[in-house]
C-alpha cells in the first residue's frame, strides 16, 4: 500500500511538471500581441523609422539643385560729402552735400548645365533606396528579436518548472531515504546522496528564478512595458520544416532579397555617383541669369538733384574650370577608392547573407532532427524512471538510481522544449536572411501556442 501511494505520488509529480511546462494561464498574452507591442514601442525600431524619414529628405534637397534660385538684396547709404573746386565755374557750386542712395535688386539664377547637381539628385534617390532597405532590415531584425526574447522567457520558465519538479521528487526521495534508514532497510549513504541532490536543486531553483527575471527584463526592453504571462507552445507541437527543402534555393534568395544586400547595392551606386560628382569639377557650368535693379538717390556729389533708375538684365553665365591645383583630380581618385570599397562591401554582404542562409537552414533541419531524437529520449526516460522505481520497491535498485532517472527525465523535458524554441527562432532567422520574414510568419508561430 505504501509503495503504491509513493508511485502514485511520483506520477502525479511528473504529470504536474509536464503540465506546468505546457499549460497556459487563462490571461496569457501570445506572441502576436507581443510583436505588435514591439512595433509601436521598441526604441531601436522607432529610431530606424525616424532615420528613414530623415533620409527621405535627401531627394527634395537634391532636386533643389536643379531649380532656380531667387534672391533679393537691398541697401541704403547716407552720404555726407564736402566738395570744392580749384577751378571756379559758374555751373559748379562748392559746399557740403548730404544725400541718400538706395538700391533694391532681385536676381534669379537657373542652372542650365551643372553635371554635379544632376548627379547629386540621382545620388539622393539612391540614398533613399538605401534608407528604405535599412528600415526594412530593421523590421526583419525586430521580428527575430521579439521571437528570441519571447522564447527565452519560456525556456527560463521551463527551467524553473523542471527545477521545482526535481525538488519535489528529490524531497520525497530524501524523506523516504530517512525513513528507510531509521528502520534499517537502507544505509546512511542513500540519505546523504539524496540530501546532496536536494541542496543542489535548491541552488538550481534560485538560479532559474534569477534567469526568468533577466529574460523578462530583456523582453520588456523591446515592448516598452512589463510582459504578462506568456502563452507556451502546445504539447506535442509539430514544427514545419523549411520550404523549399533545398538549401541552395535559400542561398539564392538570400543573395537577391536580403535587405542588407539591397542597402549595400544602393550604397555602391551612391559611391559610383560620387565619382561623377567629383569629375564634374572638370566640366564647365552654364547658368541663365536675370536681375532687376532699382536705384534711387536724393542727390549727388555735384548737386542736390535726385534721381530714380530701374534696370533689367538677362544673360548666360559660363564658367570654365582651368586649374585648381590638382584638388579635383585628388577628389576623383578618393571617390574611386570609395567606390571600390563599396563594391567590396557589397560582395562581402552577399557572402554573409549566403552563409547565414546556409547556417540557419542547417540549424533548422538539425533542430528538427534533435527534436525528434529528444521526443524519443523523453519516452525512454519515462520508461527508465518507471523501471527504476519498480526496482527500488523490490530491492534491486537503490535510491541513487531513482534520483538519476528522475534527473534524466526532467533534463530531457527541458532540452526538448529548448530544442523546439531554438528551431523556431532559427526558422525566423532563415527567413530574415532572405528578406522574406513577415507578420504572417509571426502569426503562423502564434498558432502553435497553447490557448
DSSP 208: H
Q: Does 270 score more than 70 pLDDT?
A: yes
Position 188 confidence tier, pLDDT thresholds 50, 70, 90 = confident
**Residue ranges per domain, the chain?**
2-67+116-282+327-446
Separation between Cα atoms, residue 134 and residue 49, nearest integer Å: 10
Which pLDDT value is given to residue 5?
A: 36
Beta bridge partners of 220: none
Separation between Cα atoms, residue 238 and residue 420, nearest integer Å: 9
Q: Which CATH superfamily is domain 2-67+116-282+327-446 in?
A: Outer membrane efflux proteins (OEP) (1.20.1600.10)
User: How many Cβ atoms are within 10 Å of 88's Cβ, its own excluded?
Assistant: 7
On average, the pLDDT of the chain sits at: 87
Separation between Cα atoms, residue 47 and residue 139, nearest integer Å: 11
Q: Does 444 score more than 60 pLDDT?
A: yes
pTM of the model: 0.82
Separation between Cα atoms, residue 120 and residue 126, nearest integer Å: 10
Separation between Cα atoms, residue 346 and residue 266, nearest integer Å: 9
Of residues 356, 147, 330, the one with CA closest to residue 251: 356
Which pLDDT value is given to residue 85?
A: 62
Q: What is the mean pLDDT of residues 144-167?
A: 92
Please state, in angstroms and as integers, the Cα–Cα distance from residue 282 to each residue in 48, 67, 255, following that order: 38, 22, 38
Contact 374, 412 (CB under 8 A): yes
Q: What is the mean pLDDT of residues 154-178?
A: 85
Contact 425, 144 (CB under 8 A): yes
Separation between Cα atoms, residue 37 and residue 142, nearest integer Å: 11
| Residues 281-295: tens digit of each pLDDT | 999 999 999 999 999
Contact 135, 49 (CB under 8 A): yes
DSSP 64: G
Which pLDDT value is given to residue 405?
A: 84
Report the alpha-carbon angle 348-349-354, nearest 5: 100
Contact 348, 261 (CB under 8 A): no
Beta bridge partners of 312: 292
Separation between Cα atoms, residue 191 and residue 274, nearest integer Å: 78
| Residues 364-416: tens digit of each pLDDT | 999 999 999 999 999 998 988 888 888 878 877 766 677 778 878 888 988 99
Helix axes of 327-394 and 2-22: crossing angle, nearest 10 degrees: 160
Report the alpha-carbon angle 417-420-155, nearest 5: 45
Q: What is the mean pLDDT of residues 90-110?
A: 80
Contact 230, 154 (CB under 8 A): yes
Using left for φ > 0, alpha for ψ between -120 and 50, and beta otherwise, residue 199 falls in alpha
| Residues 205-259: tens digit of each pLDDT | 999 999 999 999 999 999 999 998 999 998 888 899 999 999 999 999 999 999 9
Separation between Cα atoms, residue 39 and residue 139, nearest integer Å: 8
Which pLDDT value is given to residue 91?
A: 56
Amino acid at each position: 500500500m505504501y509503495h503504491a501511494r509513493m508511485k502514485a505520488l511520483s506520477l502525479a509529480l511528473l504529470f504536474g511538471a509536464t503540465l506546468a511546462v505546457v499549460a497556459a494561464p487563462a490571461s496569457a498574452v501570445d506572441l502576436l500581441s507581443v510583436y505588435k507591442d514591439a512595433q509601436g514601442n521598441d526604441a531601436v525600431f522607432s529610431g530606424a523609422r525616424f532615420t528613414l524619414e530623415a533620409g527621405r529628405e535627401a531627394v527634395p534637397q537634391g532636386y533643389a539643385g536643379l531649380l532656380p534660385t531667387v534672391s533679393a538684396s537691398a541697401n541704403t547709404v547716407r552720404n555726407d560729402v564736402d566738395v570744392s573746386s580749384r577751378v571756379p565755374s559758374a555751373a559748379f557750386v562748392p559746399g557740403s552735400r548730404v544725400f541718400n542712395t538706395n538700391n533694391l535688386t532681385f536676381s534669379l539664377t537657373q542652372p542650365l548645365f551643372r553635371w554635379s547637381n544632376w548627379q547629386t539628385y540621382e545620388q539622393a534617390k539612391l540614398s533613399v533606396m538605401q534608407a528604405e532597405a535599412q528600415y526594412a532590415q530593421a523590421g526583419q531584425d525586430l521580428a527575430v528579436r521579439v521571437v528570441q526574447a519571447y522564447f527565452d522567457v519560456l525556456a527560463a520558465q521551463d527551467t524553473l518548472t523542471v527545477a521545482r519538479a526535481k525538488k519535489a521528487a528529490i524531497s520525497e526521495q530524501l524523506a523516504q531515504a530517512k525513513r528507510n534508514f531509521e528502520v534499517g532497510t537502507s544505509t546512511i549513504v542513500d540519505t546523504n546522496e539524496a540530501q546532496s541532490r536536494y541542496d543542489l536543486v535548491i541552488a538550481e531553483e534560485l538560479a532559474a528564478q534569477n534567469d526568468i527575471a533577466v529574460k523578462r527584463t530583456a523582453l520588456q526592453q523591446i515592448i516598452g512595458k512589463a510582459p504578462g504571462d506568456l502563452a507556451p507552445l502546445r504539447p506535442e507541437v509539430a514544427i514545419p520544416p523549411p520550404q523549399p527543402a533545398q538549401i541552395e534555393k535559400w542561398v539564392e534568395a538570400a543573395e537577391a532579397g536580403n535587405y542588407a544586400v539591397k542597402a549595400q547595392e544602393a550604397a555602391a551606386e551612391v559611391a559610383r555617383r560620387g565619382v561623377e560628382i567629383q569629375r564634374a569639377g572638370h566640366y564647365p557650368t552654364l547658368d541663365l541669369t536675370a536681375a532687376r535693379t532699382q536705384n534711387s538717390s536724393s542727390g549727388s556729389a555735384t548737386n542736390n538733384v535726385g534721381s530714380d533708375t530701374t534696370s533689367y538684365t538677362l544673360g548666360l553665365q559660363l564658367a570654365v574650370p582651368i586649374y585648381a591645383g590638382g584638388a579635383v583630380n585628388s577628389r576623383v581618385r578618393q571617390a574611386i577608392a570609395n567606390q571600390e570599397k563599396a563594391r567590396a562591401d557589397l560582395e562581402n554582404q552577399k557572402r554573409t547573407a549566403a552563409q547565414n542562409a546556409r547556417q540557419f537552414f542547417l540549424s533548422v533541419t538539425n533542430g528538427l532532427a534533435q527534436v525528434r531524437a529528444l521526443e524519443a529520449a523523453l519516452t525512454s526516460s519515462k520508461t527508465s524512471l518507471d523501471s527504476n522505481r519498480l526496482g527500488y520497491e523490490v530491492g534491486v535498485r537503490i535510491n541513487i538510481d531513482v534520483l538519476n532517472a528522475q534527473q534524466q527525465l526532467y533534463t530531457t523535458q527541458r532540452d526538448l522544449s529548448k530544442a523546439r524554441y531554438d528551431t523556431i527562432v532559427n526558422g525566423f532567422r532563415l527567413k530574415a536572411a532572405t528578406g522574406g520574414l513577415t507578420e504572417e510568419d509571426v502569426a503562423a508561430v502564434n498558432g502553435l501556442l497553447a490557448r
